[in-house]
Every structure is written in C-alpha cells, then in structure tokens.
Amino acid sequence: MNYLLLAALAAYVNAAVHAILAFAYKRRSVERVAMVSLGVGFALHTAAFLRDWIQDGRYPLFGLRETLSFLAWTLVVAYGLAHFRYQIKALGTFLMPLVAFLVTATLLVRTSSDARAGTVAEGAAGWVFPIHTTLLIFSYAAFFVVFAASAMYLWQERELKLKTFSALFHRLPSLTTVDDIGSTAAGIGFTLLSLGIVTGAILSSQQTGRIWHNDPKEVFALITWLLYLTMIHYRIQWRGRKSALVGVAGFGLVIFTFLGTRLMGGYHVFG
C-alpha cells in the first residue's frame, strides 16, 4: 500500500471539501483550511514522487498510473501559479476535487507498466524520454486551466447577455480576468505542447529512425496543436466568446488524445 500517496489523497480530499464549503459560504477561515490542506497534500505527493524515483531508480512517469498521479501534481502546480498571479479562489473549487479524483484513480489503477518502462528510457537518447513526458503533462495541466477559465468566461458571458444572474456569477472572477488567464495559459500550454512534440520526434528518430508513426496519439496531438495554434493566431479577432469556445473544445481533444487514443492502440500504448 502506498501510504504516502494515501496521506496525500486524504489532504487533497480535505482541501476539496473545504474549497467547496468556502465557495458556498464565503468563510475565510474555511478557505485557509483548504489552502493549507492543499499545501500539505502537495508536499506529501511530492515526497511520494521522489521516493518512487529513488526506489525504482527511474523517473516515475510511465504508464497510466504514474501519469495520472503526475497529472494531478502538475494541476496543483498550475493552480498555485494561477493563484499567485491572479488571486482567484473560484478555480480551486473546481480543481481540487479533480486533483482528489485523479489521485484516487492513481491508487486504484494496477501497476503493469514496469516491465516496459526501462526499454524506452534506456534506448538511444533515452534521457529525452522524461523530458518529453513531463513537458506534455504540464501542457495538459495548462490546457485544463484554459478550459476552466473558458468555462467561467462562457458561464458569465451568457448570464450577462441574458441579464439574469445566479449565485455562482457573483463568486467568479471578472470576464477580463478569466480571458487573461485563458490566453496566458493557452500560450504556455501551446509552447509546452510544441516542445513536447519536438522532443518526441527526436526520441523516436533516435530509437526507430522514424519521426512519425501514424499512431493515433500522434495524429490527435497534431490536431490539438493545430487547434491551439489557430486559437492563438486569431487571439484578437476571436477575443472573448469564440476563444472560450475553442478553449472548451480544445480540452475535449486533449482528453481524447490523453485517454481515448489508448483504445485505438499504436506505438504510444504502454500501460
């Protein structure tokens, strides 16, 4: 049993519950509990990650289980950055439950990828592999932030147009703020995705002599890349609602690239 991760999960669940309560009842003390719990969870989570790294003697980011755990960890990092920059609390209410869910999934998924973990990382230019995966997971976290900001944008935009406001409306950050968060995160996510794809191509050309395998994951990653490229290109013309719609749709594509393509088989299926 992974007690360290279990303890992290407990802290994350506590954080999620308090974040929701703080959102509903606007109690500053409850909010503090959520933030402290999140910090504790993050510390434990980091410790679990480092322990795995030392124990297994390899970068612990391979296969579904480790990827889910790492994704949760990067989401906390992304939230920390967004919170530091914009002081927005509402995001945590949606993000902390997701983090708790991902860690739960991590604890439930069986480990079955260890056997193949060595093969990629020990081949030619194997050192690129952890960079490739880390970059991509961070880009997913950034796209999640884009998604959350876009959803908040669309929700508020709709209520402003209809002129009827729900309780949620008053608790969300302003339109300009969420638009700003969305476009900043999209820029970061896109850069990370580009670098992730490039490192993947380098790794693959070193190990198999091909940079492209026509693998579903590669195809969808390319489509995702093109979509965000378009979004960034039309940043000004699409400012506001259109960008937000792309932010939501793009994240659907990200999820599919991440999970859906597993079902379609191919070069990228490990776990």
Partner 1 sequence: MSIILVGLNHKTAPVEVRERLAFTDESCAETLQTLVDGELISEGLIVSTCNRVEVLAATRGVSGDEGTARISSFLSETRRVPRQFFGEHLYTHADEEAVRHVFRVASSLDSMVVGEPQVLGQVRRAYSNAVTAGTAGRILHRLVHHALHVAKRVRAETGIAASAVSISFTAVELGRKIFGTLKGTTVLVIGAGEMAELAAQHLAGAGASRILVTNRTTETAEQLAQKIKGTALDFSSLPAHLAEADIVICSTAADEYVVTPEMAREALAARQRRPAFFIDISVPRNVDPAVGELDNLFVFDVDDLEAVVASNIREREREAERAELIVESEVMQFQQALRSLDLGPTVAALRQKLEEIARAELKRQRTRLGELTPEQERAVEALLMSTVNKISHPIISRLRRSHDTGEEEDLKAWRNTFGLEE
Which residues contact partner 1 (rule: CB under 8 A)? 25-28, 156, 160-161, 163-165, 167, 169-170, 173-177, 236-242
Which of residues 156 and 261 has its CB atom nearest to partner 1 in the complex? 156
Q: Measured between alpha carbons, how far is 133 from 73 in angstroms, rounded to an integer?
A: 14
Q: Measured between alpha carbons, how far is 231 from 223 in angstroms, rounded to an integer?
A: 12
Nearest-CA neighbor of 95 among 109, 81, 85? 81
Q: Measured between alpha carbons, how far is 268 from 130 in angstroms, rounded to an integer?
A: 14
Q: Measured between alpha carbons, how far is 161 from 265 in angstroms, rounded to an integer?
A: 44
Which of residues 114 and 159 has its CB atom nearest to partner 1 in the complex? 159
Largest CA distance in the chain: 60
Handedness of CA 149, 254, 105, 51 (dihedral sign): negative
Shortest gap between Cβ of 118 and partner 1 (angstroms)?
50
Which of residues 26 and 233 has its CB atom nearest to partner 1 in the complex? 26
Shortest gap between Cβ of 173 and partner 1 (angstroms)?
7
Which of residues 127 and 165 has its CB atom nearest to partner 1 in the complex? 165
Which of residues 4 and 175 has its CB atom nearest to partner 1 in the complex? 175
Shortest gap between Cβ of 236 and partner 1 (angstroms)?
5
Which of residues 136 and 151 has its CB atom nearest to partner 1 in the complex? 151
Shortest gap between Cβ of 29 and partner 1 (angstroms)?
9
Which of residues 158 and 210 has its CB atom nearest to partner 1 in the complex? 158
Shortest gap between Cβ of 232 and partner 1 (angstroms)?
15
Residues 118, 59 contacting (CB under 8 angstroms): no
Shortest gap between Cβ of 124 and partner 1 (angstroms)?
48
Shortest gap between Cβ of 49 and partner 1 (angstroms)?
36
Shortest gap between Cβ of 180 and partner 1 (angstroms)?
8
Q: Measured between alpha carbons, how far is 237 from 233 in angstroms, rounded to an integer?
A: 9
> 89: which DSSP letter?
S
| Structure token pair of residue 22 | 């703080």
CA distances 235 to 27, 99, 157, 232, 238, Å, are 37, 30, 18, 5, 5
Nearest-CA neighbor of 78 among 61, 67, 91? 91
Nearest-CA neighbor of 141 among 99, 202, 106, 84? 99
